[in-house]
Structure 1
Amino acid sequence: MFTLIFLLLVIELPFSGSRTEKPLCFPQSSPCVSQDGDLIIGGFFSLYSVEVSSFTGSEHPHKACHASQWIYKNYQQVLALKFSVEEINNNPSLLPNITLGYHIYNAYHSDARTMESSLMWLSGSSHIIPNYSCSGQDKSVAIIGGATYSLSVQMGTLLELYRFPQISYGPFDPILNDRVKFPSLYQMAPMDSFLHVGIVRLLLHFGWNWVGLIAPDDMSGETFFWDMQTEMSRNNACVAFTEKIPVSERRHAESHVAFMPRILQSSATVIVIHGDSDTLMILRHSQNPAFILFKVWIVTSHWDITVRPHNLVAYSFHGALIFSHQTKEIPGFKHFLRTINPTKYPDDTFLKNFWNSVFLCTGDLTAVEEEKCSPNTSLESLPLHHFDMTMSDLSYTIYNAVYAVAWALHEMSLIRSEIGFIGNEESHVVPQFWQLHSFLRNIQFNNSAGYQVILDEQRNSVGEYDILNYQACPNDPEVLVNVGKFLPQAPFGHDFTICEEAIVWGWIDSKASQAGCSETCGPGFRKLSQEGQPVCCFDCVQCPEGEISDHRDMDYCVKCPEDKFPNGMRDGCLTKEVTFLNIKEPLGFTLACTALFFSLLTALILGIFVKYQETPIVKANNRNLSYVLLISLCFCFLCSLLFLGCPSSVTCLLRQTIFAVVFTVAVSSILAKTITVVLAFKATRPGSRIRNWVRPRVSNSIVLICSLIQVTFCSIWLGTSPPFPDTDMNSEPGYIIIKCNEGSVIAFYCVLGYMGFLALGSFVVAFLARNLPDTYNETKFITFSMLVFCSVWLSFLPTYQSTKGKAMVAVEVFSILSSSVGLLGCIFIPKCYVILLRSERNTQESLKKSSSNLHIAPCL
């Protein structure tokens, strides 16, 4: 009763007044081709389409309908079923003594028409008689159909009432895998669980991050949008727009008015199309070639990009990339296609109609047209948009589906034979179709290509894809070139491959297609997100100093390794040059020459003092201290040479300690000289006990004690945290500076502080004794020398701290030389002037005369 009511609704539906705004157009008779056999398999394929013009509701629906049109390429699906049935019938080891036949119907993308065809199949007659099967129809065992989700549901709703097995060859849909809702429906196609991952991998490979998405307005489209948006978001790519295409097989003149302008006006030049050839029927006729030439298309597996009118619109898809299910080449199928013609199957009027339509064999023909219409003409001569000699993934699935039914029947017949089934011959040959379910659920076999086929929904295989490039130049035949693969279950790095050299781009190449929400940020720049905009909308800002970006569209700039530094463009790292204060470079050479010159000058002055050692001016103020001071100054100049050249462990240990000790000796000598002058003046007073302190050993003891204290400091320094060779990576860009690390900074400044303390003491004593009456009183000169000395080293401290790298070493060398020159010039140059140029003042008579006038005797 339910079936009868359902049928009456279906029959009245096309002419119901409530549905007049969307008329359904049916041809006068349903196309059907059949081959008889012991068992019959039904096939529902989309072979015809119907065009509908504008319909106002006032005219009869049939008057708004155009004639049915062949979808030529889908005829390969019929041939795949025919080939598999013939192959099975010729195989003595599979279903022996049983022949398979088939009934093929056109599957319109229409609820009412699909229901009508299904009822015709169940009734076995062009007259629909619910719950009644015409003679011979009880041989039917299964239906192969459901190119789309909606067709599978429409057929399954009716077939499930009779538990009739339906094997869907269309795209895998998780909803159809529900055993509660669809217990009699089986899906042959592999799962597209990772298709969106492969598409995003392709987008990332070419740097496409501003992409439009097109899908049918149904559940599969919603799922695709969700998966793509999630995966793209994870990989910092953005969806420029999403467009839902109305699901219809009919072509309305105004059908593309709503969505095509939005697609054309989008700034996205890369567009992904998901769907199948039936649900995207409208898109076949909706392209405006004047605009779409400048788009890059990525097409998923089930929308045959070549199924459309062959005109200028065809070339708008030139260069498209297609994710196509991998299929194994079935042995003998191409040969079968080459031999197909109406002569081989004279009783097949369906084939004859197809042949006449595809080769335009109607009316008066020219000689060339007659040759095309010859029965010996091969399908191989047809262009790609009419027929493809390579087995499509749908045909491959149909081939496997027929074999799945055959193997299920074969196992059923074996079991029936083993249990000694008792019954008439008819019952033995024709099993009941509902008995096939238990065998289909667990079917597993290897097809003729050696590929394992599993129909169990729990073990359904995951789709693997070839990436094809559609090349449709106006003067060349259409071709699909394999340019890559996506194997989801392969190890990372081997799962996605693409050969860019094999790709022929369309009217816009892969680099030009990167225009989107924002321009690409080149190397040397980083992305700065725009507030309130998607992550693909950003500004480009240059990397800060010291950082680089060596790729396009980097989110962050990175620092170079320590041994490298950024180049001027900040898009790469250059190797740093190893450097130090080299004696061969101008600064080092100048400092070295200065040190040698003044050390020689000091040695010359020492020689003068030795030569004139008996003169009063040399003997005054303790000449031994003068010798010690000159020798220490000579070493002060020479010790600066330890700071030049590549630092080593030895030079790092010696440079600061030798400098500290010899400078301490020099400053101690000056301190001893100053104290000697003061003591000598005090000793001239009658009855003074200080006279006993005015002896050479006292001054020598001062020098020795002060120097030993500095030696103690240096020994502690070397014993606890000695200086060592080190590298400075950051002081000078582009250079690795080899320097001496002072080890203990506290010890270093203690040594300098002790020298400063001695120098300050010498300055204070000399300043207080500067006006003592004495012919050869050198405290004035010592005051000036210590003023220079203290000024130099007080300036040294902040300058040393503020400089880096080689400049720090140069500052210390300059301080050593300048302070030493200050001591040498202020103390000894005036004496040399008297010795060499004013010798009359360097006599005993002159000394006595001055002494008698001043009542002061010189200290010898």
Structure 2
Amino acid sequence: MASTQRWPEWGWALLQLLLIASFSQAEELVCRQTEDPENPQLSKDGDIILGGIFSFHSSWKNRQDSYKYKPLLNFREFQCAQAMIFAIEEINNSTDLLPGISLGYKMYDTCGSVARSVRAALALANGNEAVSAPSEEQCTKPAQVQAIIGETSSSPCMAIATVIGPFYIPVISHFATCACLSDKTKYPSFLRTIPSDYYQSRALAQLVKHFGWTWVGAIRTNDDYGNNGMATFTETAQQLGICLEYSVSFFRTDPPDKIRKIIDIIKASNSKVIVAFLSYLDMDVLIHGLSKHKLTGYQWVGSESWIFDSQTAETDRHHILDGAIGLSMPKAHVSGMREFILNVKPLNSSGHEIFTELWETLFSCKFKQSESSTGNERECTGHEDLTGEKNGFTDMSLMPIFNNVYKAVYAVAHALHSILGCNQTCQYKVWVFILTNMILLQILQHIKTINFKTKEGDEVYFNKNGDPAAKYEIINWQPTENGIVDFVTVGLYEASLPADKQLKLQNNSLVWAQNSKQVPVSVCSEKCPPGTRKVLQKGKPVCCYDCIRCAEGEISNTTDSITCVRCQPEFWSNERRDACVKKEAEFLSYEEIMGVLLIAASLFGTFMTVGVAVIFFRHRKSPIVRANNSELSFLLLFSLTLCFLCSLTFIGRPSDWSCMLRHTAFGITFVLCISCVLGKTMVVLMAFRATLPGSNVMKWFGPVQQRLSVLAFTLIQVVICILWLSISPPFPFKNFKQFKDKIILECALGSALGFWAVLGYIGLLAILCFILAFLARKLPDNFNEAKFITFSMLIFCAVWITFIPAYVSSPGKFSVAVEIFAILASSFGLLICTFIPKCYIILLKPEKNTKKNMMGKAMPKSL
């Protein structure tokens, strides 16, 4: 879209002129006009002549080479010409600027044709006079004008600047906005008093973005103005995340089928916003086609070419453009200009034929001498009053454009004033400089460096690209009760400000399509709310997407997020996936039911053990207590009490001391417990073995030896625990992996070898005790504890064998509960199997608690 695909119209014009020049040189080397000379429509003599190129006629009713039919008069262009004349007359009457020098003008009508624009430019540069000269004389006549004001459109300006560039004649346009004209390598002599479309296109993209429109259509004029402007808009729109559903172009001379296809595209689209980068002439053609189909309800965004044009508003009789918004040049006022533009009678006295046509068009009458007069129309007197007339000519809404013409003329005048160093000798100096070819280059260089203020206070200067400062008003079309459109200024865009301050809008005063107060919505896909991310739809632009909910543990807290962000390890996504919340810390606490039940079981076991100890202590002299090695029994009850209590260290939030205490206390107390049981088992087994003749084995299993054995077995576990705590002790650990939405507070083992060494040692003693008890199971029942010890060890081993898979597979706090359950179950097993039968006899069967009953027939004599 950067440029039109067809051969530029001005390119054909240049080719035509080159062919004419080649044929002319083939015949004779004489400056001779090969066609009818181009004559200016408006002219006035002066010491220095300024050229003007305007499209007084925009199109023809029937365009033929004979121009038999009169073309349509363009009021806007005629007003621009009047503005140029006003500025020249004001300078001529000034005593401060170019005193003693009169400025003249020659203005040509191009009829909207690029080819005629080139011919007019060449006529201004070389003159139209026929020169009869010898063949050896070259055409070296100085240029006729010192600067050219115009043209209005970009494509003609490109052609003019290309042709005139080698002559260094300044070309200053008041309305050509194509950014391509800022290229000084191609157009070194071109300047303008209107900002480049580079800024306007970017401003339009920011305006569209401001209202959240990401899915828009685009229509452009198929020339350099529209193609280059839309290319910049598209590039900026893509950077801002705006997509074009369609982008079409046309030219006002295209056949009606082209307009019909564009209308069909608009109907088939689902975007509600249309960006129109069109000239006002093309907009009039498009409005005519849209009116036939009554395509209302679309929000139009327009370029400065048509957005503040009252004639375009009058053409829109079906209110298709109501609520349109766009950029326009800032409002301007030049004192005296309005009255001068409307006062066209002096043109009649100057003998300009265009006055007749203008007057007949304004008052719908005919002069007697008019060739087109049919006799049925009212006769013009030339004294009709314009005061009460309301038409395109009396409308001064385009004063900013006229002001641009005014500033262009003054820029040339200031440059001439600077070159000539005007004082009393100014009039003399002009004749010296006008005869040299260097004057044009000097004027161009001085124009580029001028900086002055008009009488209204407007600052005029050009940057290195020949462009003025970019400043726009934002215009909103607001229909009034009488059906007339009111162009309301609702904001301002100033390119020289920082990016975040360039666009200023008054949203509360805006009116939208169909007189709505609500901002229209034009998106391909609705905005993705927080908690979701955008996923592009296959084969569609980036503005078309689906909204996918963020995965667990990920969030998006902004609208239209393209990614979801994973929460920090200690946080998790909430239900809406739009915020990270702190994970729940899970551990076996004292407050929850499971913790309370385990505490109750632990305390119950403790009290039960203490109760048994009390019973044994009160009946310590009874045969059953004495017969079962009371000293080891009390030590066993003490160790069981510690086993029940050590389970409490597993409950509650893990800390450094609790993590180190829980496993070491558990390991040492259980070894102490099993050592006591092992001692009792060995005593029982050895006691019956000692009954054999000549056996003195019991001397190795007396009370001292029993105490030492228990101490030795326990010290081994103590050493293991000390090494474990010294090398790599257990520590509090936050487990983020086991549960996604929870933090498991647990005790890391530190050294796994130390943990399994503690458990392995306990298991080794338990197996040894089980084996010994199993060997003594058939000894006499009255004295023998071996059966109960076997049962208790069987329970102990079964509990801890099943503990390992249960512990590994249990999640979170349940693994701690499994470990506590194993401790309590094995402790209860030892307590019940070892002491409950004795308590039963002591309390409920005292008749059996006698020495005779305990001795029985199988009692070893050594006892």
**TM-score category (smaller protein):** 0.7 to 0.9
Amino acid at match of 1:438: Q
> 1:169 is matched with which residue: 158, 174, 177?
174
Cα distance in 1 for partners of 2:763, 2:336 equals 106
SS at match of 1:96: coil
Name the structure 2 match of 1:185: 190
CA RMSD of aligned residues (A): 4.6
Following superposition of structure 1 onto structure 2, how do residues 655-804 of structure 1 map, counting pairs within 5 Å?
655-729=662-736, 731-732=738-739, 735-736=742-743, 738-804=745-811
* Stretch of structure 1 that moved more, 760-769 or 81-90: 81-90
The superposition leaves residues 347-400 of structure 1 with CA deviations (integer Å, 9 ceiling, x where unpaired) of 25689997997899999xxxxxxxxx9766799xx99x98465853x4554343
Instruction: Summarize the Cα distance change of 1:184–1:341 in structure 2 as closer, same or farther, 3 Å threshold.
Output: closer
- Say whether residues 1:347 and 2:339 are aligned partners: no
Cα distance in 1 for partners of 2:642, 2:70 equals 113
CA contact under 8 A between 1:107 and 1:117: conserved in structure 2?
yes
> 1:153 is matched with which residue: 150, 158, 180?
158
Instruction: Summarize the Cα distance change of 1:750–1:666 in structure 2 as closer, same or farther, 3 Å threshold.
Output: same
> 1:217 is matched with which residue: 222, 245, 255?
222
Name the structure 2 match of 1:616: 623
Instruction: Summarize the Cα distance change of 1:636–1:123 in structure 2 as closer, same or farther, 3 Å threshold.
Output: same
- Say whether residues 1:243 and 2:248 are aligned partners: yes
SS at match of 1:243: strand
Gaps of 5+ in 2: 1-12, 22-37, 133-141, 349-353, 368-383
> 2:312 is matched with which residue: 293, 308, 311?
308
The Cα shift of 1:147 comes to 2.2
Instruction: Summarize the Cα distance change of 1:843–1:172 in structure 2 as closer, same or farther, 3 Å threshold.
Output: same
- Say whether residues 1:447 and 2:439 are aligned partners: no
Amino acid at match of 1:315: H
The Cα shift of 1:314 comes to 6.4
Name the structure 2 match of 1:567: 574
TM-score norm. by structure 1 comes to 0.79
Name the structure 1 match of 2:300: 297
- Say whether residues 1:44 and 2:53 are aligned partners: yes
Name the structure 2 match of 1:640: 647
The superposition leaves residues 755-784 of structure 1 with CA deviations (integer Å, 9 ceiling, x where unpaired) of 333333333433443333342433333333
- Say whether residues 1:837 and 2:851 are aligned partners: no
Cα distance in 2 for partners of 1:794, 1:362 equals 121
* Stretch of structure 1 that moved more, 495-504 or 437-446: 495-504
The Cα shift of 1:405 comes to 0.7
Following superposition of structure 1 onto structure 2, how do residues 593-612 of structure 1 map, counting pairs within 5 Å?
593-612=600-619
Cα distance in 2 for partners of 1:803, 1:361 equals 104
Instruction: Summarize the Cα distance change of 1:615–1:522 in structure 2 as closer, same or farther, 3 Å threshold.
Output: same
CA contact under 8 A between 1:789 and 1:819: conserved in structure 2?
yes
Name the structure 2 match of 1:513: 521
Amino acid at match of 1:690: V
Name the structure 1 match of 2:351: none
How many residues are matched?
Answer: 800
Name the structure 1 match of 2:280: 277
- Say whether residues 1:398 and 2:405 are aligned partners: yes
CA contact under 8 A between 1:38 and 1:430: conserved in structure 2?
no
The superposition leaves residues 597-651 of structure 1 with CA deviations (integer Å, 9 ceiling, x where unpaired) of 3222222222112112222332344222222222222222223333333334433
Name the structure 2 match of 1:527: 534
* Stretch of structure 1 that moved more, 735-744 or 507-516: 507-516
Amino acid at match of 2:279: D
Amino acid at match of 1:662: T
The Cα shift of 1:411 comes to 1.1
CA contact under 8 A between 1:255 and 1:282: conserved in structure 2?
no
Cα distance in 1 for partners of 2:746, 2:389 equals 85
Amino acid at match of 1:283: L
Amino acid at match of 1:298: V
SS at match of 1:293: coil
CA contact under 8 A between 2:734 and 2:746: conserved in structure 1?
yes
Identity rate of aligned residues, in percent? 34
Cα distance in 2 for partners of 1:726, 1:388 equals 81
The superposition leaves residues 715-751 of structure 1 with CA deviations (integer Å, 9 ceiling, x where unpaired) of 2333233334444456556555544444344433433
Cα distance in 2 for partners of 1:305, 1:8 equals 42
Instruction: Summarize the Cα distance change of 1:141–1:223 in structure 2 as closer, same or farther, 3 Å threshold.
Output: closer
CA contact under 8 A between 1:443 and 1:454: conserved in structure 2?
yes
The Cα shift of 1:847 comes to 0.8
The superposition leaves residues 434-493 of structure 1 with CA deviations (integer Å, 9 ceiling, x where unpaired) of 613323234231434777654464575674555544434666753455556666665554
Instruction: Summarize the Cα distance change of 1:595–1:60 in structure 2 as closer, same or farther, 3 Å threshold.
Output: same
SS at match of 2:534: strand
SS at match of 2:521: helix
The Cα shift of 1:245 comes to 1.4
SS at match of 1:212: strand
TM-score norm. by structure 2 comes to 0.78
Cα distance in 2 for partners of 1:590, 1:209 equals 62
CA contact under 8 A between 2:690 and 2:697: conserved in structure 1?
yes
Cα distance in 2 for partners of 1:67, 1:778 equals 131
- Say whether residues 1:558 and 2:565 are aligned partners: yes
Instruction: Summarize the Cα distance change of 1:210–1:4 in structure 2 as closer, same or farther, 3 Å threshold.
Output: closer
* Stretch of structure 1 that moved more, 631-640 or 550-559: 550-559
Cα distance in 2 for partners of 1:195, 1:620 equals 110
Instruction: Summarize the Cα distance change of 1:123–1:707 in structure 2 as closer, same or farther, 3 Å threshold.
Output: same
Instruction: Summarize the Cα distance change of 1:235–1:813 in structure 2 as closer, same or farther, 3 Å threshold.
Output: farther
The superposition leaves residues 247-288 of structure 1 with CA deviations (integer Å, 9 ceiling, x where unpaired) of x4x586555123221233123333333243356553343324
* Stretch of structure 1 that moved more, 86-95 or 553-562: 86-95
CA contact under 8 A between 1:564 and 1:576: conserved in structure 2?
yes
- Say whether residues 1:543 and 2:550 are aligned partners: yes
Instruction: Summarize the Cα distance change of 1:669–1:40 in structure 2 as closer, same or farther, 3 Å threshold.
Output: farther
Amino acid at match of 2:601: T
CA contact under 8 A between 2:773 and 2:789: conserved in structure 1?
yes
Cα distance in 2 for partners of 1:5, 1:389 equals 39
Cα distance in 2 for partners of 1:857, 1:84 equals 145
Cα distance in 2 for partners of 1:319, 1:131 equals 58
* Stretch of structure 1 that moved more, 808-817 or 487-496: 487-496
Name the structure 1 match of 2:113: 110
The Cα shift of 1:243 comes to 0.8
- Say whether residues 1:411 and 2:428 are aligned partners: no
The Cα shift of 1:316 comes to 2.6
CA contact under 8 A between 2:313 and 2:485: conserved in structure 1?
no
Cα distance in 1 for partners of 2:148, 2:805 equals 95
CA contact under 8 A between 1:756 and 1:790: conserved in structure 2?
yes
Following superposition of structure 1 onto structure 2, how do residues 6-17 of structure 1 map, counting pairs within 5 Å?
6=17
The superposition leaves residues 294-314 of structure 1 with CA deviations (integer Å, 9 ceiling, x where unpaired) of 433333444436452525566
Instruction: Summarize the Cα distance change of 1:41–1:824 in structure 2 as closer, same or farther, 3 Å threshold.
Output: farther
SS at match of 1:256: helix
Cα distance in 1 for partners of 2:270, 2:839 equals 90
CA contact under 8 A between 2:179 and 2:229: conserved in structure 1?
no
The Cα shift of 1:843 comes to 1.9
